[in-house]
Amino acid sequence: MHAFDSPYGALSLTRYPPTQNPTLQAFDATDHYLLSQLQAQPEPGPLLIINDQFGALACALAAHQPCSWGDSHLSELALTENLRINQLDSGQIEMVPGDQSPPGQYQQVLLRVPKSLTLLEDQLRRLRPHLLPGAVVMAGAMIKHLPPRAGDLLAKYIGPYQASLGWKKARLLSANFDPQLIPPTQPLASHYALDGTDISLCNQPGVFSRERLDIGTRVMLPLIAEQTATATNIADLGCGNGALGIMAALHNAQAQLLFYDESYAAVASAKQNFTNALPGRTAEFRVNDGLIGITPDSLDVVLCNPPFHQQQVIGDDIALRLFQQSRSALKPSGRLLVVGNRHLGYHVKLKQYFSQVTQLAASDKFVVLLAT
245 DSSP 8-state letter: H
User: Which uninterrupted H or E stretch holds 38?
Assistant: helix 29-39
Query: In the prediction, which pLDDT does 343 show?
Result: 85
Q: With the CA atoms of 223, 224, 225 and 226 taken in that order, what torsion angle do they form, in degrees rounded to the nearest 10?
A: 60
Average pLDDT over residues 119-137: 97
In a domain, 172, yes or no: yes
Q: 51-89 b/e with 16+ CB inside 10 Å = b?
A: bbbbbbbbbbbbebebbbbbbbbbbbbbbebbbeebebe
Query: In the prediction, which pLDDT does 62 show?
Result: 96
- pLDDT tens across 220-246, in order? 999 999 999 999 999 999 999 999 999
Query: In the prediction, which pLDDT does 250 show?
Result: 96
Query: In the prediction, which pLDDT does 307 show?
Result: 85
Query: In the prediction, which pLDDT does 64 show?
Result: 94
**Are 40 and 139 contained in the same domain?**
yes
Query: In the prediction, which pLDDT does 170 show?
Result: 97
Q: Considering the chain, what is the average pLDDT of its residues?
A: 94
**Are 100 and 197 contained in the same domain?**
no
CATH number of the domain enclosing 259? 3.40.50.150
Say if residues 120 and 109 touch (Cβ distance below 8 Å). Answer: no
In a domain, 105, yes or no: yes
In a domain, 185, yes or no: no
Say if residues 246 and 283 touch (Cβ distance below 8 Å). Answer: no
Query: In the prediction, which pLDDT does 44 show?
Result: 78
Q: For the chain, how long is the longest CA-to-CA vector?
A: 64
**Are 99 and 240 contained in the same domain?**
no
- pLDDT tens across 33-51, in order? 999 999 998 887 899 999 9
Contacts of 198 (CB under 8 A, 6+ apart): none
Range of the domain at 111: 2-176
**Are 84 and 160 contained in the same domain?**
yes
Query: In the prediction, which pLDDT does 351 show?
Result: 93
